[in-house]
Amino acid sequence: MAIATRPLQGTYVADPDHSSVGFTVTHMKLSSFRATFDEIKARFLGEESGGLLLEGRARVGSVSISNPPEFREHVINGADFFDAPNHPEIGFRSTSIEFDEDGTARVEGELEIKGVSRPVSAIGTYRPPVEDPFGSTRAALELAATVDRKDWGLDWQMPLPKGGDVLAYEVELTAHLELIKVG
């Protein structure tokens, strides 16, 4: 694959109405539990020198789990999961970004959950800038990564009566970012 030459230049921020960050984990060995964070901020810097940076934050308390209330409380505030009273945000900062001419994007970076930072590799697609009907320039970046939640201390578990675990340790993370150029 040929590397695209600086497909995104300048500073972009995620449009909160058209962007999402979430996760999927297998529940009871049979279904996918999905959730998103309703409050996210992300910024992409495409510097003239060719340096690229993607960074973002999600407020833990904005996770889209509503029922039952005690489950939401356990996931958001419990030490087994996000522990929001002590760690109200999840963060990401890239260390390397590559865009191929075919639209493939590869991002390496550090994901911080509960004060623990670990390297993460994500792959996905980017869409080059277009002008919107209001005179702004927009681009898109969609990424996915699979991680082991235990690496961040999210190790709650309960055994199933006939073997196996209630909640998988492997979690798919996704980021769908519609970016607006601001500089």
* pLDDT tens by residue, 136-151: 999 999 999 999 999 9
Give the per-residue pLDDT at 68: 87
Contact 127, 150 (CB under 8 A): no
Q: How would residue 9 be classed by pLDDT, with cut points 50, 70 and 90? A: confident
Query: What's the pTM value of the predicted model, to 2 decimals?
Result: 0.92
Contact 182, 11 (CB under 8 A): yes
* pLDDT > 70 in the chain, percent: 95
* pLDDT tens by residue, 39-65: 999 999 987 656 789 999 999 999 999
User: Which among 23, 35, 15 has a CA at the least distance from the CA of 177?
Assistant: 15
Distance (Å, whole) CA 42 – CA 19: 9
